[in-house]
Amino acid sequence: MSNARKDRVMPEGWPMRRERYEELVALVEPDARGVAAVVGELGLGDGAAWLTRWRAAWDANLASCDAAGDCRIQLT
Protein backbone atom coordinates (compact mmCIF):
# COMPACT_ATOMS: atom_id res chain seq x y z
CA MET A 1 0.00 0.00 0.00
CA SER A 2 2.86 2.39 0.65
CA ASN A 3 6.61 2.53 0.41
CA ALA A 4 8.08 2.75 3.91
CA ARG A 5 11.32 4.15 2.47
CA LYS A 6 9.66 7.02 0.60
CA ASP A 7 10.67 9.85 2.92
CA ARG A 8 13.67 8.15 4.56
CA VAL A 9 15.88 7.01 1.69
CA MET A 10 17.13 9.75 -0.63
CA PRO A 11 14.25 12.15 0.12
CA GLU A 12 15.79 14.61 -2.33
CA GLY A 13 15.49 11.99 -5.08
CA TRP A 14 17.98 10.20 -7.29
CA PRO A 15 19.63 12.14 -10.08
CA MET A 16 18.73 10.83 -13.50
CA ARG A 17 18.62 12.15 -17.03
CA ARG A 18 15.14 12.69 -18.45
CA GLU A 19 15.87 10.45 -21.44
CA ARG A 20 16.85 7.55 -19.18
CA TYR A 21 13.76 7.94 -16.99
CA GLU A 22 11.53 8.05 -20.08
CA GLU A 23 13.20 4.82 -21.26
CA LEU A 24 12.49 3.18 -17.90
CA VAL A 25 8.86 4.28 -17.89
CA ALA A 26 8.41 2.96 -21.44
CA LEU A 27 9.91 -0.34 -20.28
CA VAL A 28 7.58 -0.82 -17.28
CA GLU A 29 4.38 0.78 -18.55
CA PRO A 30 3.19 -2.25 -20.59
CA ASP A 31 3.58 -4.47 -17.52
CA ALA A 32 1.79 -1.89 -15.36
CA ARG A 33 -1.11 -1.88 -17.83
CA GLY A 34 -1.19 -5.68 -17.63
CA VAL A 35 -1.27 -5.63 -13.84
CA ALA A 36 -4.05 -3.03 -13.91
CA ALA A 37 -6.07 -5.27 -16.23
CA VAL A 38 -5.63 -8.28 -13.94
CA VAL A 39 -6.56 -6.22 -10.87
CA GLY A 40 -9.80 -5.20 -12.58
CA GLU A 41 -10.57 -8.61 -14.08
CA LEU A 42 -10.15 -10.41 -10.77
CA GLY A 43 -12.14 -7.82 -8.85
CA LEU A 44 -9.18 -6.95 -6.66
CA GLY A 45 -9.70 -3.24 -7.09
CA ASP A 46 -10.00 -0.49 -9.64
CA GLY A 47 -7.24 -1.25 -12.13
CA ALA A 48 -7.73 2.01 -13.99
CA ALA A 49 -7.38 4.04 -10.79
CA TRP A 50 -4.28 2.04 -9.84
CA LEU A 51 -2.68 2.79 -13.21
CA THR A 52 -3.71 6.44 -12.98
CA ARG A 53 -1.78 6.76 -9.70
CA TRP A 54 1.32 5.26 -11.34
CA ARG A 55 1.04 7.63 -14.29
CA ALA A 56 0.74 10.55 -11.86
CA ALA A 57 3.93 9.41 -10.11
CA TRP A 58 5.77 9.10 -13.43
CA ASP A 59 4.52 12.54 -14.50
CA ALA A 60 5.56 14.09 -11.17
CA ASN A 61 9.07 12.74 -11.62
CA LEU A 62 9.21 14.07 -15.17
CA ALA A 63 8.05 17.45 -13.87
CA SER A 64 11.15 17.52 -11.65
CA CYS A 65 13.38 17.70 -14.72
CA ASP A 66 15.03 21.00 -15.49
CA ALA A 67 15.51 22.53 -18.94
CA ALA A 68 18.83 20.69 -19.30
CA GLY A 69 17.10 17.33 -18.75
CA ASP A 70 18.41 16.69 -15.22
CA CYS A 71 15.76 15.13 -12.96
CA ARG A 72 15.40 14.12 -9.30
CA ILE A 73 13.49 10.83 -9.25
CA GLN A 74 11.42 10.27 -6.11
CA LEU A 75 10.19 7.00 -4.65
CA THR A 76 6.45 6.55 -4.86
User: Which range has the worst mean pLDDT, 3-7, 13-17, 41-45?
Assistant: 3-7
Decide if pLDDT at 1 tops 50. no
Decide if pLDDT at 3 tops 60. no
Calculate the average pLDDT of the chain.
89
Please list the residues that pair with 73 across neighbouring strands: 14
Predicted TM-score (pTM) of this structure: 0.79
CA distance 72 to 52: 21
Which of the four pLDDT bands, split at 50, 70 and 90, describes residue 10? confident
**pLDDT value at residue 76:** 77
76 in Cβ contact with 3 (< 8 Å) = yes
Question: Could you tell me the residue ranges of all domains in the chain?
Answer: 35-76
